[in-house]
Structures are given as C-alpha cells and as structure tokens.
C-alpha cells in the first residue's frame, strides 16, 4: 500500500515506519519540519496540524492514513499548553478530514490515534471499547478528537480509533524515563499503587496498527495488552527486571506538586481491555 503517516517522528511513528517499509509499503510523511530526518525513499510534506489543512500532495494517491500527530500530553499543563494539546489533536484532525474531503480519490482507511484517557478514571471497572467516555480534560479531549476522526466515515472511509495505553519501549517514551531511577534503586509505586495501568509493548502496538491497515476492522480499538496491572504490580515487575528494590513510593500530593493538573494522567485508574482487537483475531505477543 501507499500510506501517509502524520506524527512519524515520534516514538510510535518511527517504529511504524521501519516496520511498514520492511513489509514493502511506500510511505509519505506529513511533518511540521521540512528537514525531518527520514529514511530514504520516504516523501516528506510540511504540515502543522493546528494551522490548517495538510497539502494535497501529501495525501494524493494514498491508500491509507495513519494519523499520530499531536502536542505531547506528558508535560505540565497550563492554559496555553492545554490549548496547544487541544488544537493539535482536535483541530488538527478536523483539518486533515477537511483536506481528505477535497480529494477526488480518497484513501480507503483512516487510523486515528486516541488514548485510554477517553475513559477517565474508573477505579476497578473493566473498560472495553463499548464503555462510555469519562470526565476530565483528557477524556473530553479524546471524545472531541475521536468525533473529528469519525467525520471521515461520511466520506466513505473506514475509520479506526486507536485508544493507546502506556507504550513500553526501553528506547523511548514512559519506560525510558522510568528506567534511570529504578536502576538506581530509587523507584517506587505511585500514590499507593492501586490504580490500574493499561500498558502495551511498542512491538504489539505497531503490529496492531498494521493489523488495522490490513484487516477490515473499524471503530474503536483499545491499544492495550490483554492483562492490565495495577501500578504496584507494574512497579514490582520493573524493579525485578532491573534487579533493584523499589522502596521509594511517591505520594499523590507530591505528583500534584510536580506535575500540576497533568498528574491526573498518572493517578487515573483505567482497567482497559482490548476486546475488539481480540475479537478481530489480533495475535498479542
């Protein structure tokens, strides 16, 4: 296939590009920076999601779009930061769909990123793709974000909304930031550790995106492993993996002091299960 990727310079996008190229697909990238370092043979078109529609040449003749672009959520939230996050995802997806609506030949598929933050914090409730959205900034953001992606269905496109959990890769993302303190024996559970933590290894997440490109699935998919764990169990497993104790718990008030409102992402409990992916036959590793 000919596939256009937005957000290709991020953790997920880089691994996805490598996997798709290895399988023989041709790739276009929409990036905010013209000088983005991309593998040979990848075409790059400049696009800032929050500032308008992407150029038609970045979409033309594509068979599928994988839309991963967005301002990072993992930063201290101010009013300006929250607006950038919202604009990059909600307005950015709207701008993308508007550009797609103007093509004479549209891609068949749109895979649009979302997050398990869609569900809000739900304690021990089991959350599947059919569960209702939650409340709070991130839940409301994801709901609006997905609504813009769903608009592509009216163009005759198959739309997949990928609600991603914590992506684990030692070379980037959350795990890369966790490893140094744990390797020094300074790791510990967060705020009592009872909150459910939906996680997925990056290899499975990239595989799930490719599965969604190649199979006729549609709607929401929880990008999470079939076995969510509470934070205390994850902490114990990570400490065992690096052969260090994990005896320095971080209380909730300290997280709120450090990260402000963004701490709700770390404290939220989401027992998200990938029921739609499992029903479709995705082979989790």
DSSP label at residue 250: B
Measured CA distances, 226 to 65, 126, 214, 276 (Å):
26, 12, 21, 11
**In this structure, are residues 242 and 181 in contact, taking their beta carbons and an 8 Å threshold?**
no
Most confident of 42-46, 142-146, 167-171: 142-146
With bands split at pLDDT 50, 70 and 90, how would you rate the model's confidence at 21? very high
Phi, psi of 41 (to 5 degrees): 90, -5
Query: Per-residue pLDDT averaged across 62-67, rounded?
Result: 98
Query: Per-residue pLDDT averaged across 173-184, rounded?
Result: 85
Listed in sequence order, the residues at least 6 apart from 230 whose beta carbon sits closer than 8 Å to its beta carbon are 193, 194, 195, 196, 197
Q: What percentage of the chain carries pLDDT values higher than 70?
A: 98
Whole-model pTM over 0.75: yes
**Residue 220: per-residue pLDDT:** 98
To which residue do tokens 């599947």 refer? 128
Burial class (CB in 10 A: 0-12, 13-18, 19+), 167: buried
CA separation for the pair 223, 202 (Å, rounded): 10
**In this structure, are residues 107 and 64 in contact, taking their beta carbons and an 8 Å threshold?**
yes
Per-residue tokens: 154:
């009216």
CA separation for the pair 90, 72 (Å, rounded): 13
CA separation for the pair 63, 139 (Å, rounded): 30
To which residue do tokens 């370092």 refer? 37
């Amino acid at each position: 296939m000919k596939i256009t990727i937005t957000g290709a310079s991020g953790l997920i996008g880089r691994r996805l590009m490598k996997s798709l190229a290895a399988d023989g697909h041709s790739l276009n990238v929409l990036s905010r920076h013209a000088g983005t370092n991309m593998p040979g043979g990848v075409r790059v078109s400049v696009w800032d999601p929050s500032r308008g529609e992407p150029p038609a040449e970045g979409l033309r003749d594509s068979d599928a779009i994988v839309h991963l672009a967005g301002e990072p959520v993992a930063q201290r939230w101010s009013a300006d930061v929250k607006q950038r996050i919202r604009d990059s995802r909600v307005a950015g997806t709207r701008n993308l769909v508007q550009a797609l609506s103007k093509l004479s030949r549209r891609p068949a598929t749109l895979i649009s990123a979302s997050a398990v933050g869609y569900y809000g914090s739900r304690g021990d409730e089991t959350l599947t793709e059919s569960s209702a959205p939650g409340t709070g900034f991130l839940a409301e953001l994801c709901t609006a974000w997905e609504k813009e992606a769903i608009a592509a269905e009216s163009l005759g496109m198959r739309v997949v909304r990928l609600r991603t959990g914590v992506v684990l890769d030692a070379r980037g993302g959350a795990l890369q930031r966790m490893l140094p303190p744990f390797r020094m024996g300074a790791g510990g559970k967060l705020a009592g550790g009872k909150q459910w933590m939906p996680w997925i290894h990056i290899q499975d997440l990239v595989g799930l995106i490719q599965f969604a490109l190649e199979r006729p699935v549609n709607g929401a998919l929880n990008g999470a492993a079939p076995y969510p764990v509470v934070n205390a169990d994850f902490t114990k497993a990570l400490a065992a993996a690096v052969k260090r104790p994990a005896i320095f718990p971080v209380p909730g008030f300290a997280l709120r002091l450090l990260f402000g409102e963004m701490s709700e992402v770390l404290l939220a409990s989401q027992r998200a299960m990938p029921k739609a992916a499992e029903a479709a036959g995705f082979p989790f590793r």
